[in-house]
Amino acid sequence: MDKSLYIAMSGAKQTLLAQTTNANNLANTQTTGFKSDLEQFRSQPVFGAGFPTRVYAMTERPGTDLSAGAMQTTGRELDVAIEGEGWLAVQSASGKEAYTRAGDLRVTPEGMLQTGAGLPVLGQDGPIAIPPSQKLTIGKDGTLSIIPLGANASAMVELDRIKLVKPAPDNLEKQADGLLYVKDGTAPEASAEVSLVQGVLEGSNVNAIAAMVDMIELAKNFELQTKVMKNADDNAAVSAKLMQMA
């Protein structure tokens, strides 16, 4: 009897963990460049001393869906989207080089080029600084050009180039901060194969309808598992009562 209780308990716990992942995906359906997390269930025997007599459910995140989201035209000169494969290099909060598809860029009052989440965008020699200018243009290859303050419209100056990379998808992993990192820890070189489109943003690749269906299914699974736990508890109570009568 305790076997069914253990299986139902472990299944309910892992269902809640899967629901957390799915809820996070659903909450980011409108987040620029967001990549949805995947989850799956599998059975796992309990290892230890003696013959294994228990099997528990386990949910795991096998990876991240790296497919592109829908493109949204904004017309804003600091909004960029990557055509095809590739990533923007940014500096994470820990100071490491990380990668994102969120191209909602901005220039801070201090002149630093950042993403909408406040992460410094990396260029050829580190974080990019933009001097005071009257116009900023971003080329397809990530080249940043400005017209300095007080200069005429023809005085375009090339400033830096956004680092665009194209690492192998199987060498990327998504961490808790939502950014992608290379698994081997080696920063890839800038790739000339990656190109940008100005005035466009890439949306989230989360399918809201599928996420809602998954949420309902997981909720029903949790309800079923709690009913099994209740039935196991009731059966245990009846068995104890019979033992007392005997």
Question: Which pTM was predicted?
Answer: 0.80
User: How much of the chain exceeds pLDDT 90, in percent?
Assistant: 54
pLDDT of residue 138: 92
C-alpha 139/C-alpha 80 separation (Å) is 10
Q: What angle is formed at CA 177 by the lines to CA 208 and CA 85, rounded to 5 degrees? A: 65
Residue 91, φ and ψ in degrees, nearest 5: -105, 120
Copy the structure tokens of residue 172.
């990327």
Contact by Cβ (8 Å): 165, 97: no
pLDDT at res. 167: 93
* Rounded distance between C-alpha atoms, residue 227 and residue 223, angstroms: 6
Contact 108, 88 (CB under 8 A): no
Domain boundaries defined on the chain: 2-65+206-245, 71-202
CB atoms within 10 A of CB 80: 26
Is 246's pLDDT higher than 60? Answer: no
Residue pair 164/142 in contact by the 8 Å Cβ criterion: yes
Q: How many alpha carbons lie under 13 Å from residue 208 in its C-beta half-sphere?
A: 8
CA distances 166 to 67, 97, 210, Å, are: 14, 14, 29
Q: 106-147, pLDDT tens digit by residue?
A: 999 999 999 999 999 999 989 999 998 888 889 999 999 988
Report in angstroms the alpha-carbon separations of 244 from 1, 230, 235, 237: 18, 21, 14, 11
Quote the CA–CA distance of 87 and 67 in Å, as a whole number.
12
- Of the candidates 90, 147, 165, the residue with the CA atom closest to the CA atom of residue 121: 90
Higher pLDDT, 153 or 122: 122
pLDDT tens for each residue of 64-111:
999 999 999 999 989 999 999 999 999 999 999 999 999 999 999 999
